[in-house]
Chains A and B, each alone.
Chain A
């Protein structure tokens, strides 16, 4: 039996058809699109087509609003640093406590340089308070940067409303939409969003290609200066093969948008229902009513995520965890902490993220495999006794923390 991949929020398989589209650009049409000879004469055209395919997927008004970058992180850094550079008198940023490190770590770094960072808190379901947000909007704010969908829980933020509110206050708005693009319909032409980041490898294109959507008229200062590529907004020779791949991936994502929101959603719902029906002391994190169709994040109380992942991996199932031990930094997931999930549950959160390549048969196999794994680890847990949590767990086991 082949292994089951349920870690698509981390990265996705490159669609074999997309690989085929890429291949000519390595060994035949390998020329520089800026060159005059025939080795690159089709490259420029292919990039133009890809730009339009991406434009369609995110509903941009003009194809020139699409700037190809190397990844989502570069797009995020470019957007935030551009806003600061273009508006030197504005020294504050609004973001949230649950952003991806691509935004949070940059903000921490900017804080050291004297910028003020406002981080919007979230409630137990991962939602922000729009009144708190409104109260922070002022002419000191250079940019608001809020993710469209959370990578760990899939919870959606009302970024379109938030962008309108920012514009009403005369403030630029950026959204990190790497998890949302391809899974939720996006129509940027009719939104107030000035900048949006997306990443190829989250939607079955390869790693190393991203996009910064830049609404026409938005004041912009490039991060990388040099050649005239991307109309001088992102210098550096174009990653032609990957741009072509991202274009094709955008086209496929358009075609599968309904499938994501029906069939993939049904598989995700079945997975959650199947596991929770059998496993006690487990719950869904985030906001189940308003989230990505492919993401299930389940907290298994009193056990630890890395141990769960190792046993799942042995059973041929790939997922990820918000536990401290799976990250190099040893910090437990900042998203789970921000939602106030208790330590004994945050440690055992497992994210299953699906794609259109998963099947219901695979989901049934996972539903079979998970309960024994949880049971095995709970037998080792000091919080667990005779098939149930010990009475008053926090008191029954209260280790000295050193």
Chain B
């Protein structure tokens, strides 16, 4: 069973604004090719102020499709259509306290239905601006079409390059077979043969630094990292330990573990748990290292 948030369940079991709006003057009908779900969104827009007075949905789809539709209608009611057009699929997912990566397309479907409904209101024809493919990287929700396009546009040749350009495969690495298959196909189109990167000798530590999400300053990143650490602190404090952020250099997060944690056998497991959470929350690859070992690491990077 999917790991749905309470908010998703709430909107599924008791959906808001179900059914067509009476006296509506805009409608958008959109289906998701990746799963076959479909949605009709109807709006009642005030012609004077262009404010969305009422919104209703009819959905042929799964739990998260129904919840996303319900969330969308709640978000946009009372907005002007210009404001509503700024609602992203991430906003819908955030409103629901997140969706499983495989289900993000449900929120995309919601956003597209909204665009289609607005286009209908304005007498325009809505055009799809993206193509969805099979989900390859579940950690960062990146699909095959996105990877293929990036490989073609940038002439990528290795899995490492794909990780750097798209983030796909940058966390758990279990999708590397799928990424290799895409490389084999795309390179074959160009009459080239994919060659796997040779296995690296252990002495030289190669750290792959994926692209940082655009537009985030280092300070913003540190604030987000602090937030995540604050999230896990109560749990660690319950075990009579504590954790503090010392520094952030590039993609390395230095932290101090104190109290019962220092010298604890479980400390490294806790560290990797924090790392996993940071990667998930910030959407970029981060390495968590105890500040006490920072000196040792500096040496590694030098050689």
Find out whether the CB atom of B66 lies under 8 angstroms from the CB atom of A400.
Answer: no
Please indicate the chain A residues that have their CB under 8 angstroms from the CB of B39 in the complex.
Answer: 382, 399
Judged by a CB distance under 8 angstroms, whether B36 is at the interface is yes
Which listed residue (B12, B35, B38, B130) contacts A330, Cβ 8 A? Answer: B35
Tell whether A314 is near chain B: CB-to-CB under 8 Å.
yes
- Tally B residues with Cβ within 8 Å of A: 42
Distance between A304 CB and nearest chain B CB, rounded to angstroms: 5
Q: How far is the CA of A303 from the CA of B9 in the complex (A)?
A: 18
- Contact pattern, B 76-117, Cβ under 8 Å of A = 1, otherwise 0: 000000000000000000000000001101000100100010
Of A323, A330, A383, which is in contact with the most chain B CB atoms at under 10 Å from its CB? A330
- B58 lies within 8 A of A398 (CB): no
Q: In the complex, A324 Cα to B62 Cα: how many Å?
A: 9
Contact of B58 among A310, A329, A330, A380 (CB under 8 A): A380
Question: Is A344 part of the binding interface, using a Cβ–Cβ cutoff of 8 Å?
Answer: yes
B49 to A: closest C-beta gap in Å: 28
The CA-CA distance from A233 to B15 in the complex, in Å, is: 56
Q: Which of A324, A379, A382 contacts B36 (CB 8 A)?
A: A324
B111 to chain A, nearest CB (A): 10
Report the minimal beta-carbon distance from B48 to chain A, rounded to whole angstroms: 29
Q: Are A325 and B61 interface neighbours, CB within 8 A?
A: yes
Q: Which among A314, A325, A398 is the interface contact of B35 at CB below 8 angstroms?
A: A325
Bound form: Cα–Cα A329–B37 in Å: 14
- Which chain B residues have a beta carbon within 8 Å of chain A's beta carbons? 1-2, 9, 12-13, 15, 18-19, 29-40, 57-66, 102-103, 105, 109, 112, 116, 126, 128, 130, 132, 134-135
Beta-carbon contact of A332 and B31 below 8 Å = no
**Residues on the B chain within 8 Å of A402, using CB:** 30-33, 109, 112, 128, 130, 132
Q: Which 9 A-B pairs have CB atoms at the shortest separation, nearest pair first?
A: A325-B62, A306-B62, A382-B58, A399-B31, A399-B29, A402-B128, A401-B31, A324-B35, A399-B38
Q: Give per-residue flags for A125-153: 1 if the beta carbon is below 8 A from chain B beta carbons, else 0.
A: 00000000000000000000000000000
Cβ of A62 under 8 Å from chain B: no
CB distance from A126 to the nearest CB of B (A): 20
Interface: A213 (CB within 8 A):
no
Give the interface centre of B33, B37, B112 by most chain A CB atoms within 10 Å: B37
Let me know if B116 and A400 touch, CB within 8 A: yes
Which residue, B1, B40, B60, B135, has most C-beta atoms of chain A within 10 A? B60
- Interchain CA distance A41-B37 in the complex, whole Å: 59
Q: Which of A344, A380, A398 contacts B59 (CB under 8 A)?
A: A380
Q: Which residues of B contact A326 (CB under 8 A)?
A: 62
Instruction: Please state if B59 and A381 are interface contacts (CB–CB under 8 Å).
Output: yes
Residues of A within 8 A of B13 (CB): 310-311, 314
The answer to whether B66 and A380 touch across the interface, beta carbons within 8 angstroms, is yes
In contact, B40 and A382 (Cβ under 8 angstroms): yes
List of B residues within 8 angstroms of A325 by Cβ: 35, 37, 61-65, 103
A251 to chain B, nearest CB (A): 33
- The 0/1 profile, CB within 8 Å of B marked 1, for residues 298-314 of chain A is 00001111110011011
Which residues of A are in contact with B by a Cβ distance under 8 Å? 302-307, 310-311, 313-314, 323-326, 328-330, 332, 343-344, 347, 379-383, 397-402
Q: Is the CB of B40 within 8 A of A397?
A: yes
Contact A307 B12, CB 8 Å, known A330-B34, A380-B59, A399-B39: yes
Question: Which residue of A has the minimal Cβ distance to B12?
Answer: A310
Closest B residue by C-beta to A314? B13
- The distance from the CB of A73 to the nearest CB of chain B, in whole angstroms, is 18
Complex Cα distance A371/B284, Å?
A: 46
Question: Is the beta-carbon distance between B63 and A307 smaller than 8 angstroms?
Answer: yes
The answer to whether A381 and B60 touch across the interface, beta carbons within 8 angstroms, is: yes
What is the minimal beta-carbon distance from B3 to any residue of chain A, in angstroms? Answer: 12
Contact B102 A328 (CB under 8 A): yes
C-alpha gap A304/B2 in the complex (Å): 15
Contact of B18 among A324, A379, A398 (CB under 8 A): A379
How far, in Å, is A12 (CB) from chain B's closest CB?
18
Which of the residues B9, B37, B134 comes within 8 Å of A304, measured between beta carbons? B37
A-B contact pairs, 12 of them (CB 8 A): A304-B60, A304-B61, A310-B13, A330-B134, A382-B58, A382-B59, A397-B29, A400-B30, A400-B116, A402-B30, A402-B33, A402-B128
Do the beta carbons of B30 and A399 come within 8 Å of each other? yes
Question: Contacts A302-B60, A398-B29 given: A330-B40 contact, CB under 8 Å?
Answer: no
Q: Which residues of B contact A305 (CB under 8 A)?
A: 62
Query: Could you tell me if B63 and A310 are in contact, using CB atoms closer than 8 angstroms?
Result: yes
B114 to chain A, nearest CB (A): 13
Closest to A378 in B: B60
- Closest Cβ of chain A to B250, distance in Å, is 34
Note all chain A residues with C-beta closer than 8 A to B105. Answer: 330
A382 contacts across to B, CB distance below 8 A: 29, 38-40, 58-60
> Bound complex: CA of A340 vs CA of B167, how far in Å?
38
Taking CB as reference atom, which chain A residue is nearest B70? A380
User: Chain A residue with minimal CB distance to B132?
Assistant: A402
Known contacts A329-B134, A379-B19, A399-B38; 11 further A-B pairs (Cβ under 8 A):
A307-B61, A307-B63, A307-B66, A310-B9, A325-B63, A330-B102, A330-B105, A380-B19, A382-B40, A401-B38, A402-B31
Q: Cα distance A283–B31 when bound, in Å?
A: 25
Q: Are B63 and A330 in contact (CB under 8 A)?
A: no
How far in angstroms is the closest Cβ of chain A from B58?
Answer: 4
Kindly list chain A residues whose C-beta atoms are within 8 Å of the C-beta of B35.
Answer: 324-325, 330, 332
**Contact indicator A397/B38 (Cβ below 8 Å):** yes
Chain A residues closer than 8 Å to B18, beta-carbon distance: 379-380
Query: Is A306 within 8 A of B60, CB to CB?
Result: no
B184 (CB) vs chain A CBs: closest residue: A112
In the complex, chain A residues whose CB is within 8 Å of the CB of B63: 306-307, 310, 325
Chain B residues near A332: list those with CB within 8 A: 35-36
Closest A residue, CB atoms, query B38: A399
CA distance A330 to B34 in the complex (A): 7
Q: How far apart sit A250 and B33, CA to CA, in the bound complex (Å)?
A: 44
Complex Cα distance A378/B86, Å? 31
* Residues in A neighbouring B66, C-beta threshold 8 A: 307, 380
Cβ contacts under 8 Å, A399 to chain B: 29-31, 38-40
What is the CA–CA distance of A302 and B59 in the complex, to the nearest angstrom? Answer: 10
The residue on B at minimum CB distance from A321 is: B62
| Known A306-B62, A383-B60; contact A400-B36, beta-carbon cutoff 8 A | no
Q: How far is the CA of A402 from the CA of B32 in the complex (A)?
A: 5
